[in-house]
Amino acid sequence: MLKVKSLCFVFLVAAAVSCKKDKEVTPVNTEATKVSDLPGDLTTAPGGTSKPIYFSFVTNATVDSSQKRTNNWDIAFTNIYNSYVTINNSTNQNSPGFGGTAQGALYIVNQPFDSVKVVPATANVNGSVGMDGYPSASWPGWYQYNSTTHIMTPLTGKTLVIKMANGKYAKLEMISLYKGAPANPSLSTPVPYMTFRYWVQQDGSTNLNTLK
């Protein structure tokens, strides 16, 4: 009798453990996607306005310019050395997607990537961000330009929140515009080669918490 009771007890414990495992929820993936040395427009003369490079957070790949008025891309690297991050928005004349259907938005947050936990209340109406303090001193940007060394340096603690073409939200950290993302680039370092990381909130909410 004791043996039978012991077997029943083992069976009940195993069943309880099995049920508990069935109810476990798979944790949300909080790992950011990093893109290294994405080539920009390498044909434009130094100091000229580069051809936009269109990028999709959905496919983690560039998109052909023929699709600029579609919802197939989320950000474009535009302007000089492709150093400006521009949204896909059908009503914003600063966006290459003007006249299309996308309703992207851009938020600039003065916090490190992992500290940004929610979408801010107010978006940047310009829809594009690049050099800090240009064209006016109060203009926010993600990098500083040194007029003496002519080097572009990312600002620390600066995160961009993007409303994607599909309505979901992502956060983006620009790391470098120079090939190999060196800590101290020089004028001889190839540019533009964009290195950045991003994370997409797949459930459609405004929760951007990536801390485990």
Please say whether the beta carbons of 127 and 86 come within 8 A: yes
Q: What confidence tens digit (pLDDT) does each residue in 93-151 have? A: 999 999 999 999 999 999 999 999 999 999 998 899 999 998 888 889 999 999 999 99
User: Comparing C-alpha atoms, which of 178, 66, 168, 158 is closest to residue 115?
Assistant: 158
Task: Check residue 28 and give its pLDDT.
Answer: 52
Q: What confidence tens digit (pLDDT) does each residue in 82-91 have? A: 999 999 999 9
Q: What confidence tens digit (pLDDT) does each residue in 155-199 have? A: 999 999 999 999 999 999 999 999 999 999 999 999 999 999 999
User: Which residue's entry shows tokens 């090939």?
Assistant: 179
Task: For 91-135, give the secondary structure using H, E and C.
Answer: CCCCCCCCCCCCECEEEEECCCHHHCCECCCCCCCCCEECECCCC
Residue 99 half-sphere exposure, CB side, CA atoms within 13 Å? 4
The domain ranges of the chain are 32-201
Task: Give me the chain's average pLDDT, please.
Answer: 88
**Between 72 and 139, the higher pLDDT residue:** 72
**Between 137 and 5, the higher pLDDT residue:** 137
CA distances (Å), origin 87, targets 26, 80, 123, 167, 207: 32, 16, 11, 12, 20
User: Which residue's entry shows tokens 């572009």?
Assistant: 152
Q: What confidence tens digit (pLDDT) does each residue in 32-54 have? A: 999 999 999 999 888 888 999 99
